[in-house]
Chain A
Amino acid sequence: MLAHTMTEKILAHASHQPSVRPGQIVDGYVDLLYMHEMLALALKPFNEIGVKKIWDPSKCVVTIDHWVPPPTPEVARMHQAIREFCWAQGISRFHDVGDHGIVHQLVVERGYVHPGELVIGCDSHTNMAGALGAFAAGIGATETAAVMATGKLWLKVPETIDVRVHGKLAKRTGAKDVILKVIQTTGDDGASYKAVEFHGDTIQAFPMNERFTLSNMTTEMGAKAGMIPSDAATKRYLEAAGAATAYQPLDADPGAAYLRTYDLDVDAMGPQVACPNNPANVKPVGEVAGVKIDMAFLGSCTNARIEDLRAAAELLKGEQVAPRVRMIVTPASQAIYRQAVQEGLAGIFLEAGATFTSSTCGPCFGGHMGVLGPKEVCISSTNRNYPGRMGSPEAQVYLGSPYTVAASALYGQITDPREA
């Protein structure tokens, strides 16, 4: 029997075939379809297709995350349309304002994603759910409508790139630094149309929150999916999230054929920063240390989990954000927000002079709640820094870990967190 990658095994399973090979076009039956405000844009095509009911409301999850709470009447109307649709269609897993979260975080923390599944989300960072051993890929609005109508979508089985990471990282260095290094190596289109699988002792040692950050930013390699084989840490996470336990992990066979293998030795590697205006323009933090900042943003699906907030609080406790710098802390979900309040992290941020907001994508995509003006410089825990991403096209965005963001906020300039 031929050896297969995770992608091939999951897509064979999802398309009800004994096996599939890269390049083959298959119809994949979706285990989970999740949506945010993009659903509003999918309503018109959905109605035009001409079906009345979605294929299976129990396989759908909806929340709102990009603009929460709504900043304009247009957005409020969008949210209304989503609400009405979810109620009419019987989507019970609709998480409205107050119970919401950035959708990628919400679906994993609520236990909606399981290893071996075909997960489709109407957002490019759906890759994040691949950290649980699922094949998770993003689509646009029209295709979301098509999946709601039919429960399936066409997929070209991608070739897989194997990324092996070994070694023990330096202090205050983590998955964000590793994935930035990987993106520097591959370029921001190095995995276009391909799937990525992570292996190696560094990955195995990462807790789930770090794995989510890794898979999340495979999108910035151009990848269709970014997967991590499930193991004991996955199982513990799923149990804690109250996920169904009857899942079937589909991990790669020994000897599976990869298109390419990257071996990355991260022994003693320190923090990394992506410089304007490309997530692949990565340098060790020491080379950009001293760049003055106007804003520090800790948020997004990439790095705003409770562990990220704890890391930032470790540096900010009893300290003050530098003069002339504003810091915005935006948890990735309301569950994380509640926990941050209970653990006293919210108090630490507020005492330090930071703003602590309810969960939203907001500043990450230049939408609201902290948009950059012309020539402003920001250090951000998010995943993209293309021109105009966080506001003015003339703003300069640097991407780094929560530690790097917090250290930079304290000193008013990009700072190596090991020295903070």
Chain B
Amino acid sequence: METVLRGRAWKFGDDVSTDHIIAGRYLTSTDPKVLGEHAMENVDPQFVKKVKPGDVIVAATNFGCGSSREQAPIALKAAGISCVVANTFARIFYRNSINIGFPVVECPGLPEKVKEGDTVTVDLAAGHVVLPSGETMPFHPLPPNILEILNAGGLVPKLRAELAAKSG
């Protein structure tokens, strides 16, 4: 997995819920492409048109609160977002993201330092975010078990590899 992610920042506030990220009316689809076309539509109907592959979401607290719908991180990933950096995340959104191999990082204080459109670099291995000014904001490195899942590309590839190792 890519560990240095670089892209333009899209800023969001507190309590962006899974209802904001992908509305309930689209949950009948399990196709990432369809879901990606409607990412963040409840907040900004133009969002997916403006996003470029690699862009980063920078949000305040409790990002991804609400339902357990895995379609939320799937939609963001499919829309081209490379990573979400927030002060804090809601628990299930966090787990779902890691499990599908979508990096999410808690970096308290970052939102105040980043303007919409700033290019930021998120270095997952080094554990910091580099701002346009060159300033770096450190974050707690991800726990080893989470890094292991991300490095494998998600929980499914990790389990598949483990099972293959066992039977082989």
A residues whose Cβ falls under 8 Å from a Cβ of B:
25, 38, 40-41, 44-45, 48-51, 66-67, 72, 74-75, 78, 122-124, 138-143, 145-146, 149-150, 154, 188-189, 192-193, 222, 224, 278, 365-367, 371, 384, 386-389, 391, 393
Whether A143 lies near B99 (C-beta < 8 A) is yes
Decide if A72 touches B28 in the complex (CB within 8 Å): yes
A387 touches B91 (CB 8 A): no
Expressed in whole angstroms, the minimum distance between the Cβ of B62 and any Cβ of chain A is: 4
Task: Name the one of A25, A48, A140, A222 contacting B65, with C-beta atoms under 8 angstroms.
Answer: A222
What is the bound-complex CA distance between A389 and B145, given in angstroms? Answer: 33
Q: Are B95 and A143 in contact (CB under 8 A)?
A: yes
Q: What 0/1 pattern do residues 32 to 54 of B give for CB contact below 8 A with A?
A: 00000000001100000000000
Chain A residue nearest in CB terms to B164: A50
Q: State A25–B100 Cα separation when bound (angstroms).
A: 20
A25 contacts B66, CB within 8 Å? no
Contacts of B24 in A (CB 8 A): 365-367, 388-389
Q: Are B92 and A140 in contact (CB under 8 A)?
A: yes
Give, as a whole number of angstroms, the nearest-CB distance from A131 to chain B.
Answer: 19
Question: How far, in whole Å, are A386 and B91 apart by their CA atoms in the complex?
Answer: 17
Segment 114-167 of B: residues with Cβ below 8 Å from A? 143, 145, 154-156, 159-160, 163-164
Q: Does B5 reach chain A (CB closer than 8 Å)?
A: no
> Known interface pairs A124-B67, A365-B24, A388-B23. Does A138 touch B92 (Cβ–Cβ under 8 Å)?
yes
**Contact between B95 and A139, CB atoms less than 8 A apart:** yes
Q: Which residues of B pack against A, CB within 8 Å?
A: 15, 17, 19-20, 23-25, 27-30, 42-43, 61-62, 65-71, 88-92, 95-96, 99-100, 143, 145, 154-156, 159-160, 163-164
Q: Tell me whether A78 and B92 are in contact (CB under 8 A).
A: no
Can you list 23 pairs linking A and B with CB atoms under 8 Å apart? A25-B145, A38-B69, A49-B156, A50-B164, A74-B28, A78-B30, A123-B67, A124-B92, A138-B68, A142-B100, A142-B156, A146-B156, A188-B62, A189-B61, A189-B62, A189-B90, A222-B90, A222-B91, A365-B24, A384-B17, A388-B19, A388-B23, A388-B24
A188 CA to B70 CA, complexed, in Å: 20
In the complex, A142→B149 CA distance in Å?
Answer: 12
Inter-subunit contact B28/A192 (CB<8 Å): no
Q: How far is the CB of A145 from chain B (nearest CB, A)?
A: 7
- Residues of A within 8 Å of B88, CB to CB, are 189, 192
- Out of A40, A122, A224, which one reaches B30, CB within 8 Å? A40
Evaluate contact between B61 and A146: CB separation under 8 angstroms: no
Q: How far is the CA of A141 from the CA of B88 in the complex (A)?
A: 22
Contacts of A74 in B (CB 8 A): 28-29
In the complex the two chains form, what is the Cα distance from A306 to B99 in whole Å? 38
The CA-CA distance from A239 to B71 in the complex, in Å, is 38
Asked if residues A146 and B23 are in contact (CB atoms below 8 Å), the reply is no
Additional 7 contacts, C-beta under 8 A, given A154-B145, A386-B17: A74-B29, A75-B28, A222-B91, A384-B17, A387-B19, A388-B23, A388-B42
Distance in Å from the Cβ of B141 to the closest Cβ of chain A?
15
B62 touching A51 by the CB < 8 A rule?
no
CB distance from A290 to the nearest CB of B (A): 27
* A141 and chain B: residue at smallest CB distance: B70
In the complex, A38→B96 CA distance in Å?
13
Q: Are B19 and A367 in contact (CB under 8 A)?
A: no
A124 contacts B68, CB within 8 Å? yes
Contacts of B96 in A (CB 8 A): 139-143
